Amino acid sequence: MAERLDRPVLDVSSLPTVHFGTHSLTWWGIMGMMAIEGTVFVLMIASYFYLHSRSVEWPPHRNPPDLMWGTVNLALFLISAIPSEWYRRRARKGDLKAVQIGLVLVSLFGLAILGVRYLELLHLNTDWSIDAYGSAVWTLMGLHILHLVTDLVDTIVLTVLFFTSLVEGKRFMDAEENAAYWYFVVGFWIPIYLVIYWAPRWLHA
Amino acid sequence: MITTKVATETQLTEEELRKALQLERIWQEPRGFVGWFKAVHHTTIGMRYVVTAFIFFLLAGLLAGAMRLQLAFPEAHFLSNDKYNQFFTMHGSTMMFLFAVPMMFEALSVYLVPLMVGTRNIAFPRLNAYSYYLYVFGGIMFYVAFLCNTGADRGWFAYVPLSGPDYGVGKRADFWAQLITFTEVSALAVAVEIIVTVFRLRAPGMSLNRIPIFVWGQVIVAFMVIFALPGVVLSSTMLLLDRTCGTQFFNPSVGGDVLLYQHLFWWFGHPEVYLIFIPGTAVVSTIVTTFSRRHIFGYLVLVLSLVSTGFIAFGLWVHHMFATGIPQIAESYFTGASMMIAIPTGVQIFCWIATMATGKVVLRTPMWWAIGFFFVFVMGGLTGMFLASVPTDLQVHDTYFVVAHFHYVLIGGAVFPLFGAIFYWFPKVTGRMLSEPLGQLSFWLFFIGFNVTFFPMHLVGLRGMPRRVYTYEPGMGWTLLNQIESSGYILLFLSVSILLWNVYRSLRRGRIAGPNPWHAGTLEWATTSPPPHYNFLHLPTVNGREALWDAAPNQPVVVGLSEDSRQILTTRSLDAEPDGREELPSPSIWPFLAALATTAAFIGSIFTPWGITIGSVPVAITMIGWFWPKKQAADRRRAREIWQND
Amino acid sequence: MMILAVPGFPGNQTSLNPVGPGASHIEFEFSLIFWITCAVYCIVLLGLVIAVARRRHSLETIPEPLATNEPTERLTRRSVTAAVAVTVVLLFIMLIGSFQTGRALGDMNQEDALPIEIYGHQWWWEVRYPNNEAYKIVETANEIHVPVGVPIRFSGTSRDVIHSFWAPNVSGKRDLLPGYKAEFVWQVDQPGRWRGQCAEYCGLQHAHMSFEIVAETKEQFAEWLSNQAKSSVQPSTPQATRGQQVFMTHACVLCHSIRGTSAGSRNGPDLTHLASRATIAAGTLPDTVGNLGGWILNAQSIKPGCRMPPNQLSGSELQDLLAYLETLK
């Protein structure tokens, strides 16, 4: 429905309505969220090391967290990047089947990781109320769990949506952004894993 | 030649009239009681922010009045020590968390930025609504606690261990910490919206070097919010965890550290004051430009100054901790940085004065407030030098000298520009002019009253009066100065009352403003007053930094957006060339419901650690409802999709 | 400075009346910054007033916006650059001044410094003069005697929340933080009683947490110190003896210590030499019999929220107790 005006016009009617990456508004929103949450993580890690600098023994009077389950989760996270990247690229082409499969796979990975995360918590070898070390370890873990759980719920909802008749171009944009956010959760696990599991082993107060 | 050709009823062609009615139908806000809770337009939400933040300003001002009455006489018994401690904490917390940032950043940017960049609505409109509801629910929670004698009473920054589980008895500090949670989520959400709006929704032709200084200021603040707020997120979370779950972050006997709290808090706390001040400078730049009748002098250095202020602000925080025994090398660095930040601020001041000196100054009420800003803010900035230098800081820190300093910079740097902004934009928002004589009267009463109230505080601080004291002994030499300060309050009270009267009267009987009563240059003046819900009949394109002053004789307008949906144009970040079209969401009840669920979770967690875990379920449900698409809309969009070619 | 000249100001508890090297160094830096900032303020605001006053159009209309011309812009650019350059230079001067003052404070003479320990409590100051010989250790509260002209090495911490130890005539403040040991050097060169007050909000009675630095000659100080080290005077009159009994059989012993008796609690101030002090309740009231009586009966009415509960004593019990306490010189 073009209007006729007696002045020069800039006609934008042929511009795309489905576009990915930096072209999408919600992509920028997700990046903003990553910046915010990333800063929270960085400051929490800094707090961990600050408390360490004020201590004589680290961890105080106990063993560092057991390595096994944390490392299992690290492996699961890293492997989950494969289906995630696959469906992200297929989403840009509008490949419905691939996105459906990919989302289901990543959801399953997420559930497995959540289960292993529970085992990690049982093997941290500390309680949060004993001292500042315990509080710092549990809070760092807790922040990551918060992101893991919210991203998992997001992913599952999106997965369900992709099996309905509500699929449209915008949903493929959401799929790409969902993959990007999963990378954030995976990506931040690497330094947090190193801090919780390896920092006490490498630093002897 | 000013091109302010805008769509007003009398000048519309038939075609334009049809388009206006169609756009109104698509973009209108829902009516009725329930409809109020579904609103998503930025001017609606922006107005709510303005009104709510101003109410909090008035409440905090009344609290200050009671404080001044108590301090007018040595060993007075008007307020008990416990009440006074609650009053000064509520005053500070309200001003900082419920007024200053929500007004200077959220209210002003939400209302004005989408108009100034030439688009139809803010990015993420439902998130915008959600952020407002969270803000107002947090404020209500805070004051309900206060009315139940559980008001926060540990100072607006609530240092540990005083606010911790051992010495912060009851739930007072929990309500304070949770207030932070509400207001921080709200501010962070708006920050993301502003960044996306400014980078992706600008009118074609509005390249980076043509963005209004006001918008630059607000987007820089948005970036600062993103990196600064996490500090207080963590400090208040750790405080809540220590108080409710038995963590030991701040317990020195088991490895905790009281300074960890201060570092995390001030990492946020110092940038916070710039979150308040930079929008003030953004307003001053705008008013000085319009009322000097020329492009602002030094646009590039002004932008660079704002950016560098934003960065340097993150390197100053330890100057709030000079008395704690920081190693000298660290102190030297923070002194240097604290003094260095005066350079970009000075650059701004000199550019503004240069603009006025080489322009044709028009003196109307907004300009008076801007001039008042100079007198007050510059004094505050200069007293900051005493605080930047460690030795002098160790004498004036935590005394009334610093109370004077921060009131000069905050009231000078934010409230004066805010009142200027009110007089400047009231015609745009309401369609009527405020009374100029009443405006002058409020200005002079405020300017004089402010100085009478706050200048003596420098002196009484140098005479040894510490801050946060509910009373003082006679014979200290402080009584007369305190009485002068308290009498100044009366003038401030009168001034604000006259302002409110001016607003009330002008809403009914003010002179009709028309689209551009100040003949200003930015895009918000290119539409009717008040703006319609679709903002602009024709989305504009831009030819220069002052869109209206620099417009070509026949500046093109944008056509080709769908007229039966909320479709907007997205443009490229650097040069604002047209890039794509996206559909913004329509009004919805979900943001309100999600805010209710979030509020329940946050307040619940004060009373039980399970509050978050159980509370997260309704939050998840409401957010799924929010995100879940409508079939009809999805089908419509799918039918008309144009995919980008990779 | 002028502020001192204004009537009603005793010159006590102010940084503008330095009585020692610490406050003197700081006052120099203060003056430097004061004069520079005063000059800057006047010049900048003058510039503003001139810029605004040169209006060249009528008051009613709002004129068209100006186009800017290059020669004016060039001149303006130069002026703004010059102003910024001057700003940088002045900032540099203040920065150097700041570092110099900091260094001077850090370099203060510490030879043969007298050690004193300060412990912040809600809402009083525990003062301890350590000594290698245990019988010479002095513990007192709120009143800190020091010899004139001798460096004092304070070390301090808090027993509860953050407090701040500040006597502006002598030096800048230092926060006392739980979990940290603060160490700082002060020196008083002028004899007198110099008032200080807690400068970090610490709860209900932050407003009434003062102390006094009593600076006296070396001889007077030595005499005071050796008296303070002595055990308490044993009551010599029947009334005082009864008074001691009242003390020992009431709540007093739960918080207060009097060396030489069985009262040894450290919760509240040490009272061994209570009668030698000029004030009670951390500088809130002069130490007179009347004030002391009122304080003992109901401290809450004078300093609401403080840790001392009201005490139910009959008239005669109170008189006996006061008679005893008066002997504790």
Helix, coil or strand: residue C206? helix
- B contact test, residue of C72, C73, C161, C208 with most B CBs within 10 A: C161
Check C65 against B354: CB less than 8 A apart: no
Contact list, C63 vs chain B (CB under 8 Å): 293, 360, 362
C positions 277-296 inside 8 Å of B (CB): 284
Closest-approach residue (CA) in chain B for C67: B294
Confidence of residue B7 (pLDDT cuts 50, 70, 90): very low
| B290/C180 Cα distance (integer angstroms) | 55
Confidence class for position B65, pLDDT limits 50, 70, 90: very high
Of B359, B406, B364, B361, the C-alpha closest to B387 is: B406
To the nearest whole angstrom, how far is the Cα of B454 from the nearest Cα of chain C?
Answer: 16
**Quick one: which of B446, B447, B449, B454 has its CA closest to B404?**
B454
Nearest to B477 among C10, C45, C304 (CB): C10
Is A63 touching B (CB cutoff 8 A)?
Answer: no
Task: Tell me whether residues C54 and B361 touch, CB distance under 8 A.
Answer: yes
Mean pLDDT score, C135-161: 96
Tell me, yes or no, if B641 comes closer than 8 A to chain A by beta carbon: yes
- Residues of chain B in contact with residue A92, where contact means CB-CB under 8 angstroms, are 646
Q: pLDDT tier at C65 (50, 70, 90 boundaries)?
A: confident
- pLDDT tens-place string over residues B381-424: 999 999 999 999 999 999 999 999 999 999 999 999 999 999 99
Q: Which of B38-47, C59-68, C141-150 has the lowest mean pLDDT?
A: C59-68
Does the distance separating the beta carbons of A128 and B246 come in below 8 Å? yes
- pLDDT tens digits for C103-139? 999 999 888 899 999 999 999 999 999 999 999 999 9
pLDDT at C1 over 80: no
What pLDDT is recorded for position C4?
59
Number of CB pairs, chain A paired with chain B, less than 8 A apart? 210
- Given a cut of 50, whether residue C39 has pLDDT beyond it is yes
A-proximal residues of B, 514-533, CB under 8 Å: none
CB contact under 8 A, B192 and A33: yes
Mean pLDDT of chain C: 93
* Chain C: partners with 3+ C-beta pairs within 8 Å: B
Q: What is the mean pLDDT of residues C69-86?
A: 95
For residue C197, the chain B residues in CB contact (below 8 A) are: 464, 466
Q: Which residue of C has its CA nearest to B80?
A: C304
Nearest to A23 by CA among B580, C123, B137: B580
Region C137-148 average pLDDT: 96
CA distances from C16 to B398, C185, C187, C207 (A): 16, 19, 16, 22
Going from N- to C-terminal start, the domains of chain A cover 25-55+71-204
Residue B436 in contact with partner chain A when CB distance is under 8 A: no
- Per-residue confidence (pLDDT) for residue B3, from 0 to 100: 33
Q: What is the pLDDT of residues A8-32, one digit of tens each?
A: 999 999 999 999 999 999 999 999 9
Q: What is the DSSP letter of B413?
A: I
- Residue C29, H or E segment: helix C21-53
Question: Which of C87, C177, C201 is closest, CB to CB, to B346?
Answer: C87
What b-and-e string marks burial along B206-229, b requiring 16 or more CB atoms within 10 Å of the CB? bbeebbbbbbbbbbbbbbbbbbbb
**Amino acid identity, residue B256?**
G
Per residue in A117-175, pLDDT (tens digit) is: 999 999 999 999 999 999 999 999 999 999 999 999 999 999 999 999 999 999 999 99
Check CB contact under 8 Å for B385 and C168: no
Say which of B82, B293, B480 has its CB closest to residue C63.
B293
Q: Using one digit for the tens of pLDDT, what is the confidence trace for B132-177?
A: 999 999 999 999 999 999 999 999 999 999 999 999 989 999 999 9
Homologous superfamily of A25-55+71-204: Cytochrome c oxidase, subunit III, four-helix bundle (1.20.120.80)
Q: Is pTM beyond 0.80 here?
A: yes
Helices B365-388, B328-340: axis angle to 10 degrees equals: 160
pLDDT for residue B13: 86
The predicted pLDDT at position B4 comes to 37
Does A4 lie at the interface with B, CB-CB under 8 angstroms? Answer: yes
| Percentage of the residues of chain B whose pLDDT score is greater than 90 | 96
- pLDDT above 90: residue A176: yes
Residues of chain B contacting C34 with CB distance shorter than 8 Å: 386
pLDDT at B12 over 80: no
Angstrom CA distances, A167 to A162, B132, B430, B565, stand at 6, 31, 42, 19
Look at A13 and B257 and tell me if their CB atoms are within 8 Å.
Answer: no
pLDDT tens for B442-482 read: 999 999 999 999 999 999 999 999 999 999 999 899 999 99
pLDDT tens sequence across C206-246: 999 999 999 999 999 999 999 999 999 899 999 999 999 99
Which site among B295, B392, B455 would you substitute to test the C interface, given the most C Cβ atoms closer than 10 Å to its Cβ? B392
> Hey, what amino acid is at C294?
G
Quote the CA–CA distance of C311 and C256 in Å, as a whole number. Answer: 14
Instruction: Decide: C81 and B350 in contact? Cβ < 8 Å.
Output: no
pLDDT for res C2: 53
Confidence of residue C58 (pLDDT cuts 50, 70, 90): low
- Closest CB to B375 among C6, C45, C101: C45
Q: How far is A165 from chain B (nearest CA, A)?
A: 8
Q: Is A164 within 8 Å of chain B by CB?
A: no
* Count of Cβ atoms closer than 10 Å to residue A157 Cβ: 18
Q: What is the ipTM of this complex?
A: 0.95
Q: What's the whole-number average pLDDT of chain B?
A: 95
Subunit contact A17:B640, Cβ cutoff 8 A: yes
- Whether B625 and chain A come into contact, CB under 8 Å, resolves to no
Q: Which of B641, B645, B646 to mutate to test the interface with A (most CBs of A within 10 A)?
A: B641
Contacting residues of B for A134, CB less than 8 Å apart? 247-248
Phi and psi torsions of C257, nearest 5°: -110, 145
For the cut 60, the answer to whether the pLDDT of residue A1 exceeds it is no
C64 and B293: CB-CB below 8 Å?
Answer: yes
Task: For residues B156 and B150, give the distance between their C-alpha atoms in angstroms, rounded to a whole number.
Answer: 15
* Cβ-defined contact of B350 to C80 (cutoff 8 Å): yes
Tokens of C316: 């005669």
Provide the pLDDT confidence category of residue C143 given band limits of 50, 70 and 90.
very high
Q: What is the pLDDT of residue B2?
A: 32
CB contact under 8 A, A15 and B642: yes
CB pairs under 8 A between B and C: 261
Considering chain B, what percentage of its residues have pLDDT values greater than 70? 98
DSSP of chain A: -----SS-EEE-TTS-SB--GGGSHHHHHHHHHHHHHHHHHHHHHHHHHHHHHT-SSSSTTSPPPPHHHHHHHHHHHHHHHHHHHHHHHHHHTT-HHHHHHHHHHHHHHHHHHHHHHHHHHHTS---TTT-HHHHHHHHHHHHHHHHHHHHHHHHHHHHHHTTSTT--HHHHHHHHHHHHHHHHHHHHHHHHHIIIIIHHHH---
Residues of B within 8 A of A29 (CB-CB) are 123-124, 127, 192, 196
Q: How many CB atoms lie within 10 A of CB C87?
A: 19
pLDDT digit string (tens) for B483-538? Answer: 999 999 999 999 999 999 999 999 999 999 999 999 999 999 999 999 999 999 99
Contact (CB<8Å) C84/B477: no
Tens digit of each residue's pLDDT (9 = 90 or more) over B271-296 = 999 999 999 999 999 999 999 999 99
Name every chain C residue with its beta carbon within 8 A of the beta carbon of B328: 102, 106
pLDDT at B346 over 60: yes
User: Residue C99's closest chain B neighbor by CA?
Assistant: B332
Q: Closest Cα of chain B to C207: distance in Å?
A: 5
Return the residue matching tokens 């060396």: C259
Tell me, yes or no, if C203 comes closer than 8 A to chain B by beta carbon. Answer: yes
What per-residue confidence (pLDDT) applies to A61? 86
| B531-557 mean pLDDT | 94
Residue A139 in contact with partner chain B when CB distance is under 8 A: yes
Is residue C301 within 8 angstroms of chain B, CB to CB? no
Residue B291, min C-alpha distance to chain A (Å): 31
* Partners of residue C47 in chain B, C-beta under 8 Å: 353, 357
Provide the token pair at C166.
Answer: 């500040």
**Which residues on chain C are in Cβ contact (under 8 Å) with B358?**
68, 72-73, 76
User: Is B637 close to A168, i.e. CB distance below 8 A?
Assistant: yes
Whether residue B351 and residue C171 make contact (CB cut-off 8 A), yes or no, is no
Answer whether B638 touches A (CB < 8 Å): yes
